[in-house]
Structure 1
Amino acid sequence: MVALAQTPPSGDRLRAIDGFLAEAWADRKAHDDRLRDLAVEVRFDRGVAHVTGEVADPEQLRLARDRIGQLAGVLGVWCKVRIAGRDPVVVDLGCGPNKQWPGNLGLDIFPAKGVDAVADLSGSLPLADDSVDVFFTVHILEHLIDFLPLLDECHRVLRPGGVLHVMSPWWGHVNAVADPTHVRLLDVQTFKGICLQRPPGTPRWYPLHAGCDGASIFADLTPVPPDAEPPTKSHLARFFD
């Protein structure tokens, strides 16, 4: 059976979706006592929620993330939020000259403006255990023949409750094959396999969010300890077949 291609939303529709999401979040925050006084700002850009501000503890950030992610049309929830006065440590992997946010630590195999440290992402990362709050891998995994070692390294380096943000071309879009340096095809279901089907003893991930806009796939993953309960079926049904 040949899969039918999805058509990515037009620019006009994406702007309209962002407007809808902004209104929906404002309404949800106004009617939820737990959210009303949170000092976070949410900006929607092509379906991705960019969250900034400050919260008193990690539970407040988890609550905000979860409620934002429940809005229909949200593809990912990217956070740079201070917790109890501490700035998060955010790392852009394979950033080249373009970081997702100014002030992020940039790692890339090639030196360039914006690259703070040169590192081969197919090997070990020059970062200490439990030292990073957020990783970005934006248009990176499709360039690695085997990206699981990189995910294992991110798991090692992320603090408890940290998040790995992934964005890559969807396998059914021409962008996935137009670049001859792409060596892997990915789908949202790939992240179901990463979270649920890896061998015992390997690092485990919990899917916070996953989605596809017809051109790109998005996934927000958080590391979990080996003895953690697996995601519920109802949680997985939000993202995966």
Structure 2
Amino acid sequence: MSLVIDNVESGYDRAPILHGVSMRVDPGELVAVVGSNGAGKTTLVRTISGLLAVRSGDVADDDGSLTKLTPAKRARRGTVMVPEGRKLFPQLTVGQNIELGRRAARGRTGGQDPVEALLEAFPIVKERWGQQANLLSGGEQQMVALTRAVAARPRYLLLDEPSLGLSPLKTLDVFRLIELIRERTGAGILLVEQMADQALAAADRAYVLEHGRVSMEGPAAELRASDEIRRAYLGVA
């Protein structure tokens, strides 16, 4: 039982971006994908979520191939994406945005509502419940975006640059929330992140993407300690 990306090729129009990418995310596992700008990280997430077509290869979850399913159907199957830039509905309230996430969970209800645990640990989201989303700070919007995704009861959660544009303090809050999501939901999380040091510190396993290909993979702690990764992505000489 895993989310499996198998020898996937994808891109935009006639421009290929991903070249035979293979990786997996197991339930309850946090997997980081790091790489420089232009390496194909966002293309990867958009392809898994269905926003970009798979040209060859396959994306599959526990119930079989996702490749021919729309993004909405993939979300209903349990593969849920939080896009770069959060993409909340700005004129809707926090509560209304989160309720839209609940609608994607049709067929996967039952048990404790996972949103309640997040609201208890991060009450700022509950305090902002009736406010319009566009009136929130960037960090608050990211917390709402993550909570909305959790409301969809994901089996696999795709996070595209969740720290983008946030202060160091808000970034720490977001990473704490990601860890709480993993603990409380048991979802497998694929974390695409420019802040390589924090991503590798949080992750169980990691992949390095270079020019649309997986160049390294392994336990995140080992990659974080490697001289090559430290020089290329962590700013350590």
TM-score range, shorter chain: 0.3 to 0.5
Normalising by structure 1, what TM-score? 0.37
Normalising by structure 2, what TM-score? 0.37
- Compare relative contact order (CA 8 Å, sep 6+) and give the higher one, 1 or 2: 2
Say which structure is richer in helix: 2
